[in-house]
Amino acid sequence: MTTAPPAGLTFHHVGVACVDVCAEAARFATLGYVIEGEAFEDPLQGIRGLFVAGQSPRLELLEPLAASRPGVLSAWLARDVKFYHLAYRVLHLQPAISRLRALGAKVVVPATPAVAFGGREIAFLMLPNRSLIELIASQ
């Protein structure tokens, strides 16, 4: 059975877990990726990040703020998982969360402001197939 995706999802980026965003950006530069904007730190999420853009798709390189403190990236890095989430912009966050929950997704991180997006709210949901999705409020 094929189900149409919820309306209003616009692809934004792929999240990449790494231990050093600058070193990772240099590696992706060999594929034509260039740094997009300034690096950012989000103490609430415990991450430092940097966006890079190339042919496609845009990547969000993320490293833990404190290597000694477990954080949102710990489990992914421990398993050597680099590409770990798909992010989509949505016009209104709560209705998009509700639509995905109706399709069996579970909220992993409820709506929270994010430094990377100027304080706009984000949320993370795990789809039934164990894919992690980030929703980014457009407003």
Convert the pLDDT of each residue in 74-131 to its tens digit: 889 999 999 999 999 999 999 999 999 999 999 999 999 999 999 999 999 999 999 9
- pTM of the complete model: 0.89
Handedness of CA 29, 34, 38, 41 (dihedral sign): negative
What span, in angstroms and rounded, lies between the C-alpha atoms of 81 and 18? 9
CA distance 53 to 33: 5
Task: Report helix, strand or coil for 21.
Answer: helix
Calpha distance 101→127 (Å, rounded): 9
| Cβ atoms 128, 110 nearer than 8 A | no
Is residue 15's pLDDT more than 70? yes
CATH for 10-137 is: 3.10.180.10
Q: From residue 90, give the alpha-carbon distance in Å to each of 30, 74, 82.
A: 32, 27, 24
At residue 2, the pLDDT reads 54
